[in-house]
Structure 1
Amino acid sequence: MAVNVNDPCLFCEFLKNKEIAAENDLAFAIFDGFPVNPGHVLVIPKRHVANYFELTTEEVLAIRDLLQRMKTEVDAKFHPDGYNIGVNVGADAGQSIFHVHVHLIPRHKGDVKNPRGGVRGVIPAKQSY
């Protein structure tokens, strides 16, 4: 798997040694090295781009394809009860790695006290409504 690097980044270098779980022409998937839950996957475009909103339509479709493929694999291996899918865009939204990556996080009944609000939990006071 070759990552196209226009501007070298440490994440691109790190990715060169990771085991690829799935890939297509424009993106690839790996299991997260610091998983929130077992089966946590990252789907990453091969082109070096920091901002999700700068992806091409083709890259977004390639990422979606891999999210679906990896969901099937994670379903079979880990039997989750649900999923969160997320992308951090910008430092103020929590982005710390400036190469787009989409999280596919399997969720299990009871993994948090109250899951209501899901991704709204990025601002804890706004999670419950």
Structure 2
Amino acid sequence: MNCPFCSNIEPVLQNDLSIAFYDIYPVNKGHLLIIPKRHVEQYFDLTIEERQAIDSLLFEGNALLDKKHKPDGYNIGINNGEVAGQTIFHVHVHLIPRYKGDMKDPRGGVRGVIPDKRTY
């Protein structure tokens, strides 16, 4: 297996079952990825314990980024499957800090994965 998330990760936060680290291609300053330590391709294949561990790091990451970067909001996202944009097949949750002015019109948020559906 040649998974970039299964080696050479420098954790920013971690617990028994999950790790948080900075995205090497960040959407915004502070963009974190949170993954299970166990190699699992799809979110729906995680155990309840792994989902709870990831959720715990989402909250810890939120507190860390609030203190360090003071964002004005967040997007939380998971690409589950190739058709949904997943390119690394190890579950990863994006915690993306958002800042006023980082996008002209942020309305629609994650709906922007299909640009024509973002505004309604």
TM-score bracket, normalised by the shorter chain, equals: over 0.9
Correspondence 1:10 to 2:8: no
Aligned residue pairs: how many? 120
89, 94, 98: which one aligns with 1:103:
94
Given candidates 15, 35, 46, the residue that maps to 2:37 is: 46
Distance 2:45 2:2 in 1: 17
Matched, 1:126 2:117: yes
* Normalised TM-score (structure 1): 0.90
Give the match for residue 117 of structure 1: 108
TM-fit CA distance, 1:19: 1.5
**Which amino acid counterpart does residue 93 of structure 1 have in structure 2?**
A
- Contact 2:3–2:90 (8 Å) recurs in 1: no
1:36 paired residue number:
27
Q: Is the 8 A contact 2:36 2:91 kept in 1?
A: yes
Q: CA RMSD in A?
A: 0.9
1:41-98 Cα offsets, whole Å, 9 max, x none, are: 0000011110001001110000000010011000111110000000001110000000
Question: Could you tell me how far apart the structure 2 residues matched to 1:12 and 1:94 are?
Answer: 17
Distance 2:5 2:35 in 1: 10
3-state DSSP of counterpart to 2:58: helix
Which runs of no fewer than 5 residues in structure 1 stay unpaired? 1-7
Separation in 2 of the partners of 1:18 and 1:54? Answer: 22
Q: Give the % identical residues.
A: 58
Which residue is equivalent to 2:70?
79
- TM-fit CA distance, 1:11: 1.7
Q: Which runs of 5+ in 2 are unaligned?
A: none
Partner residue, 1:4: none
TM-score normalized with structure 2 length: 0.96
